[in-house]
Structure 1
């Protein structure tokens, strides 16, 4: 199986299965000399981990990360960083009844057709559990970018099912299990309680941003910053749509509105989402993703088995009624990995170009009129 490595200069190779003994990743290309400990990574893993509220899967994984290599005396050495996360709360017996059946909406059918074999326990290699190592790798990228450029990554939920969530303040996001930017989430809690009792699931819309991004990251043709962002976001389990900036709202905008006017003080708007011609403008990168309803639900649905015989599938086990609830730190991590890749690429190819000598200052100018 190929396709397990994300990035080139900052390459993250992901390994493991949902119900195997452990999952993890190897980061190749992290610059040397950065202070790094498990504590720098654990915070983001704790934000993503299961079992944190009644609204997500009750699989209780501590997701404690171990750094196995690439760090000496508390600093990165420039050699591969191996990160390991033990699986400690698997219940593989929950999947015994679907070993010969295909769950609707899952990768079971395509995986079996492609490889001729599959691990049915929690989805095996195709499980969203494999996003945990990417969150860990993203935490490493976040730390380097914050120290180098002051780059900050944030995310929040914009919509869950048919409930649109108004943006009140970023300060509310860490104070509720939905990553919602609002103080009162009682409506969301009631909605999810009713959904779980009905044996159903829903989708979600997540917003993720990066501030203080250097100007000039990305290439004007095939390696566009926004193209790589879209590629990264679509690589997250259950994501079915990506918008950059105004996104599909651009369809109804006029050119007089969509084009972000530029003044000596900076840009007047950010419909571009922080990229022009595939290159970062220094404004906030603005990304929104659409996440489909969870496919693992207890309501019976039609399917077939490995012999192509009709069956009725009921998916038991512990599942998120909305996988979007825990998706915010995952989207942040994938955005950080893209920015990290392009930052290293830009440093290698254009580090001696005068316009790139003080990228953090350029970003501050671009942001000044939007703060």
Structure 2
């Protein structure tokens, strides 16, 4: 099982949903980075369960403990270990699926691959694992901030309700002004209403998280196989419930002709190179071109629904199964900080790799 990501800025996560704790080892973080527990906790607080009426009611404070690698508020250059204890497990809620395969979950595939599984909350396949990613991502984001790079993810679509404005016309400072994390108040209200309607009908709904990254210097990305957008796509598709990724114009670009899609270059009065459009999403030839990087991440509806469904058990018998426990009716609001974190981890790793490319 691959539990690590990154070449130079490398993370390894561990833990299960209903185990004692989840955590992460960060190896390769440069020495001298100023970081506090409070900064990491702020990122975790945006991801934690039970934060609003449209998220799971599971109550986890997600308090992080730094075990190593940080001394007197600065990183040492040694491995950084962080752990978050699980305190509100309700493992009894999952006793009914000990031998059952939940539709669209990893129950069947994990059993087929390993011959056994931790059925409590999905074990290692649970989105609870992303706590570790967010903690590590806070370190990466702090490093990037010192280089003038900002990452802002937000909910742009829930079901069929979609933001109609491009990110250039949005006030991204308003992302956290509402519980769905959509930077447009009117659209956010409609999204919240839809999530509540879906929740009350014992169902779930998916949508899209968009992300804008500003201040990225020219040159990040490792052709041929570690292109910036390829690494970003891999990172995003590794998040639970993600089924799609597109960078820049994405699938809409197929409707355009080359004469429309090409981003023409020009030089400003200070001699800086820009493009008149940004259909490339800030990436050309797999390398950042200095323009804003933007992309969309598609999340499927949460697989656990509190309705009876037909499935089979591990003996191959047909059974009826109804979901139990505490689950998000829509994962999007809590997915925003996870997208932020994974984007930061990709760029932190590529930035360190870029420093080794030229004498």
TM-score of Structure 1 vs Structure 2, range by shorter chain: over 0.9
The separation in 2 between residues aligned to 1:258 and 1:43, in whole angstroms, is 39
- Offset of residue 325 of structure 1: 2.2
The separation in 2 between residues aligned to 1:27 and 1:171, in whole angstroms, is 29
Unaligned runs of 5+ in 2: 269-273
Aligned to 2:10: 11
The separation in 2 between residues aligned to 1:72 and 1:165, in whole angstroms, is 44
Aligned to 1:159: 157
Which of 232, 236, 239 pairs up with 2:239? 236
The separation in 2 between residues aligned to 1:97 and 1:213, in whole angstroms, is 49
Conserved in 2, the CA contact under 8 Å of 1:37 and 1:67? no
Q: Residues 150-176 of structure 1, C-alpha deviation per residue, up to 9 Å, x if partnerless?
A: 100101111001111344421221111
Conserved in 2, the CA contact under 8 Å of 1:172 and 1:182? yes
Q: Residues 175-225 of structure 1, C-alpha deviation per residue, up to 9 Å, x if partnerless?
A: 111110112333222211211111111111010121101110112211111
Q: Residues 20-51 of structure 1, C-alpha deviation per residue, up to 9 Å, x if partnerless?
A: 11001000000001112111211111111110
Aligned to 1:364: none
Does residue 276 (structure 1) correspond to residue 278 (structure 2)? The answer is no
Q: What are the within-5 Å matches in structure 2 for residues 136-285 of structure 1?
A: 136-147=135-146, 149-167=147-165, 168-184=170-186, 185-265=188-268, 266-285=274-293
SS in 2 for 1:137: helix
The separation in 1 between residues aligned to 2:164 and 2:136, in whole angstroms, is 31
The separation in 2 between residues aligned to 1:346 and 1:279, in whole angstroms, is 11
The separation in 2 between residues aligned to 1:41 and 1:302, in whole angstroms, is 42
Aligned to 1:85: 84
Conserved in 1, the CA contact under 8 Å of 2:281 and 2:293? yes
Q: Which runs of 4+ in 1 moved over 3 A?
A: none
- Offset of residue 75 of structure 1: 0.9
The separation in 2 between residues aligned to 1:11 and 1:25, in whole angstroms, is 10
Q: What are the within-5 Å matches in structure 2 for residues 106-125 of structure 1?
A: 106-125=105-124
Q: Please tell me the root mean square deviation across aligned C-alpha atoms, in Å.
A: 1.0
Does residue 311 (structure 1) correspond to residue 309 (structure 2)? The answer is no
Conserved in 1, the CA contact under 8 Å of 2:229 and 2:247? yes
The separation in 2 between residues aligned to 1:77 and 1:13, in whole angstroms, is 18
TM-score, normalising length: structure 2 = 0.95
The separation in 1 between residues aligned to 2:198 and 2:78, in whole angstroms, is 47
Count of residues paired in the alignment: 349
Conserved in 1, the CA contact under 8 Å of 2:177 and 2:183? no
